[in-house]
Chain A
Amino acid sequence: MATLDSKIPSGPLADKWRKHKTEIKLVNPSNKRKYEVIVVGAGLAGASAASTLADLGYKVKNFVFHDSPRRAHSIAAQGGINAAKNYQNDGDSVHRLFYDTLKGGDYRAREANVHRLAEVSVNIIDQCAALGVPFAREYGGLLANRSFGGAQVSRTFYARGQTGQQLLLGAYSSLSRTVGAGLVDLHTHSEMLDLVVVNGHAKGIIVRNLITGEISRHSADAVILATGGYGNVYNLSTYARGSNATAIMRAYRRGACLANPCYTQIHPTCIPVSGDYQSKLTLMSESLRNDGRVWAPKNPADRLKAPGEIAEQDRDYFLERLYPSFGNLCPRDVASRAAKRACDEGRGAGESGLGVYLDFADAIKRLGENGVRERYGNLFDIYHEITAESAYQTPMRIYPAVHYTMGGLWVDYNLMSNIPGLFVLGEANFSDHGSNRLGASALMQGLADGYFVIPYTIGDYLAGQKPGSRPSADAAEFKTAEDEIRGVTTRFLASKGKEPVSHFHKRLGKLMWEYCGMARTKQGLETALQKIPALREEFQTNVKVPGSGDTLNQSLEQAGRVADFIDLGELLARDALAREESCGGHFREEHQHPDGECKRDDDQFSHVAAWEYQGEGRAPVRNVEALNYEFVKMSVRNYK
């Protein structure tokens, strides 16, 4: 059994991080250049970590599977980033951001981690502004804010509907600066295919160059994974098509615990599925709920009518009705389930019955069409591109879709996994969002981890490693790992199957959505746990991977990723089955209040479930880290 020591510092909540920073070990400046650190991924967390560690003096190697670090999927985040600046003078504070985030996560995150996140949020805005991120401003030149779900203050900073893009390009600019200065050795088109563990410590990775097929070994004193979330286990999601779980799954198979995989976020406002060929679901930012009103027809008979033909009194503004104090800005999991319930009652709009309306008619009356365009123009344009409809004239039709994963590799307060020397940042770790993430908090966490946490905590580990003691890439562990990877590649290319990789990814996705989606049952999860192994077996015998291993081969890349998604999907279902409660994004139909809200079981389940691999074909072990709330009382979330 792995030992899960969260290493949360003692002392008052608000002093923990400050105290920890003064107590952890430091690495002497002249010694820093003797340490090599591998960073995998260059999204907000990876790019900010790589450039910051390089500025500190460490030798950094950065690996990305994209053609450029600027492509990482952080780029697609639309709405904004939270920070407890209280520029609006509306009562915000570090404590309120902490509390909102903890409550939004349905009391399934660590208090100390979330408080640190809220503390450094203010530094993130300073840092991004210094890098030239063109945040929205007021006429006086000061920074503007808007509101997001789960909060009663306006603390979200934004750059039109492209905040993720601008923050990522800020981090990319720092990364580019450090690459240009020779401080970071950047490897593009390079996919991590294994983690190398030597004497129990993470000391390197195996990488495949996606253009040449070359497989190479890289040793280091520490390895940082910042490889994002695993939402593509559902195939259809708002993730980029390339987003994958391969790095975290390979680390899992090397002994890193994977925590709370069943905590998946279904975002309420996405463009509904239109056909079987579909490859991607597109998000309509949560910021739209500042001004858009969500409704469904009251009467199932109206659901095929054009929305304009449904009279005001025949519309059910169900979020405003059910949650009067938060209204359209209730948290994502709450809004998604409410939309699902409306559709389950036969009131869903459109032929598929899977859609509700997001209506801007009132906002247009209040602000004028140009006022709405200034706030959300690019989102309305995206909607128009995809649906050929103008949301200025007719309400958007939306439906929930997979958008984020709160689960991920288990890490302690230092963001180190249970494998010493392996650090995990951003969406790839499980740490800060509990069982539901609030809007505009993903960007905050990615940058907090990369700019302000890892630069301190990695030193504490490295100070205990003798400079120059890292193993050579010729060590036996590297050779074994490389041979295994070559074996997998050869097997895929030799497979005599008939179906393309996408065929299996689609089937896995449908299975996951049906049995492990917005509402889960014991029976459904057990069905999933029977069907997934069968799918795995069929995948192994019937997949077709054309081409060779020594050129760009996108089928081969996908085959490896889908194999990992199948294993992850099984683990997700297993975790969902074991968690006999409902919390945040994990909703078990057996555990709900009479009004359909989540019913937590704090006596049995106020813990982190961290799964430990036991070898192929053997059931993983479910380790538990108790969540000890010292400062906040766990209560029933109430947005009414």
Chain B
Amino acid sequence: MVAEHSSKNFGITLRVWRQAGPTQPGRFVDYQSQDLNPNMSFLEMLDVVNDELTRKGEEPIAFAHDCREGICGTCACTINGKPHGPGKGVATCQVYMRAFRDGDVVTVEPFRAAAFPVIKDLVIDRSAFDRIQQAGGFITARAGSAPEANALPVPKPDADLAMDAAVCIGCGACVAACKNASAMLFVAAKVSHLGLMPQGQAERDRRVLAMVGVMDAEGFGNCTNQYECSAACPKLISHDFIARMNRDYFTASLRAAVKPASSGASGGA
């Protein structure tokens, strides 16, 4: 286990948001983090700080993390005011210490949004995203009922575009970056992914109405076209999908208003 590219090690001042629990007040606390290797990840730097705190008998900084390769969407730090910190198209766990210089003061806080209450220190509650998904972020297809996969061709451009939206990792950076704490990019990504697939047509109207309904009820704000969401997105999902969702929402609302619905009372044997 030999350090490679052993360029000179350095130190920073870490200014971290500490908050003991959801109802307690929080504050920034400074820690010195020395002997940093530029090839360390940002979270590895926090690991080292936490080990030092533990040895001193202090409580380590709680932070959310899991896969550490930018795909699970668990990590969620705002670093120097930017959700997921410096760098484009990366999650917090993909920030490396080479992005900082000796003597820097680095501010770390949780993603801020009323719909994402702080649980402790840098850990937030994003269960609102799950509730939006549960309202309609799916295609109903029970196991065992699926037709042969190649019976339904999907034009490659549609599948590719659907994939561009489907790469969302559900981290919430879009919400944290938005001055309105809007979840439109997150919701639009799922609405667009499923709406672009022929499989997703049967539930298309219901899906967009239900997901947007829960999104509003959860307290996320509206979109005012600043596109900070796309800029902060670790997967660089395009804000064009928001326009697509708005079109879907509009047509679904119209259809819901004018389309006669079955009473459901007369059929059956």
Contacts and interface: CB of A to CB of B under 8 A. Distances in A.
Partners in one complex: yes
Interface of A: 48, 51-52, 55, 66-71, 73, 75-76, 85, 87, 123, 125-132, 134-143, 159-160, 162, 165-166, 169, 172-174, 176-177, 179-180, 186, 188, 211, 240-242, 272-280, 282-283, 350-352, 381-382, 385-386, 388, 451-452, 455, 498-500, 502-503, 510, 544, 546-547, 551-552, 554-555
Interface of B: 1-6, 20-21, 37, 39-41, 43-45, 47-48, 50-51, 53-55, 57-60, 62, 64-74, 87, 89-90, 94, 96, 98, 119-120, 123, 125-127, 129-130, 133-150, 152-156, 159-160, 162-163, 166-167, 169-170, 193-194, 197, 199-200
Contact of A55 (B39, B87, B137, B143): B143
Contact of A188 (B90, B127, B139, B147): B127
A535 to B, nearest CB: 18
A176 B130 contact: yes
A434 B144 CA distance: 27
A165 to B, nearest CB: 6
B55 A75 contact: no
B222 to A, nearest CB: 24
Contact of B4 (A140, A176, A280, A351): A351
B74 A71 contact: yes
Contacts of B155: 137, 141
Nearest to A162: B167
A75 B67 contact: yes
B98 A130 contact: no
Given A76-B72, A240-B72, A555-B60, A500 B37 contact: no
A142 B96 contact: no
Given A132-B199, A180-B136, A277-B40, 7 more contacts: A66-B74, A68-B127, A134-B160, A137-B153, A188-B127, A276-B3, A280-B41
A138 B156 CA distance: 6
B143 A452 contact: yes
B193 A132 contact: yes
A635 to B, nearest CB: 34
A394 to B, nearest CB: 13
A503 B51 contact: yes
A71 B66 contact: yes
Nearest to B87: A385
A238 B200 CA distance: 34
Contacts of A382: 69-70, 94
Given A385-B94, A552-B120, A68 B60 contact: no
Contacts of A127: 141, 143-144, 146
Given A130-B145, A552-B120, A137 B65 contact: no
Given A132-B197, A174-B138, A279-B47, A551 B69 contact: no
A153 B27 CA distance: 59
23 contacts: A68-B126, A69-B130, A126-B148, A131-B199, A134-B159, A137-B159, A138-B156, A172-B133, A186-B130, A211-B119, A240-B72, A241-B65, A274-B37, A277-B45, A282-B69, A351-B6, A382-B70, A498-B55, A500-B50, A500-B55, A546-B60, A552-B62, A552-B119
Given A87-B150, A123-B146, A452-B143, A500 B51 contact: yes
Given A126-B146, A173-B137, A351-B2, A555 B44 contact: no
A275 B60 CA distance: 22
Contacts of A174: 138, 141
B19 to A, nearest CB: 11
Contacts of B167: 160, 162, 165
Contacts of A502: 47, 51
The 6 A-B pairs at the shortest CB distance, nearest first, are namely A141-B153, A180-B134, A130-B146, A173-B138, A130-B141, A129-B149
Contacts of A143: 149-150
B93 to A, nearest CB: 8
Contact of B39 (A132, A275, A283, A552): A275
Contact of A173 (B126, B139, B156): B139
Contacts of A211: 119
Nearest to B39: A274
Contacts of B45: 277
Interface centre among A241, A274, A352, A499 (most CB of B within 10 A): A274
Contacts of A128: 149
Given A73-B66, A500-B50, A277 B143 contact: no
A130 B55 contact: no
A556 to B, nearest CB: 11
Nearest to A386: B96
B166 A134 contact: yes
Contact of B153 (A85, A134, A140): A140
B55 A551 contact: no
Contacts of B68: 240-241, 279-280, 282
Contact of A159 (B47, B139, B145, B163): B163
Given A129-B152, A130-B146, A76 B67 contact: yes
A394 B266 CA distance: 70
A228 to B, nearest CB: 12
A68 B1 contact: no
A51 to B, nearest CB: 8
B124 to A, nearest CB: 9
Nearest to B166: A134
B163 A160 contact: yes
A84 to B, nearest CB: 13
Nearest to A452: B143
Given A179-B134, A546-B54, A554-B62, A275 B1 contact: yes
A139 B153 CA distance: 10
Contacts of A137: 153-156, 159-160
Contact of B146 (A76, A129, A138): A129
Nearest to B197: A132
B164 to A, nearest CB: 9
Contacts of A141: 153-156, 159
A67 B127 contact: yes
A240 B139 contact: no
Nearest to A548: B59
A547 B133 contact: no
B153 A142 contact: yes
Nearest to A70: B170
Nearest to A172: B133
A352 B5 CA distance: 10
Contacts of A179: 130, 134
A229 to B, nearest CB: 14
A350 to B, nearest CB: 6
A126 B136 CA distance: 21
A125 B194 CA distance: 17
A272 B130 CA distance: 36
A350 B1 CA distance: 12
Nearest to A397: B4
A488 to B, nearest CB: 19
B40 A52 contact: no
Nearest to A136: B159
B117 to A, nearest CB: 11
Given A67-B74, A125-B149, A131 B141 contact: yes
A171 to B, nearest CB: 10
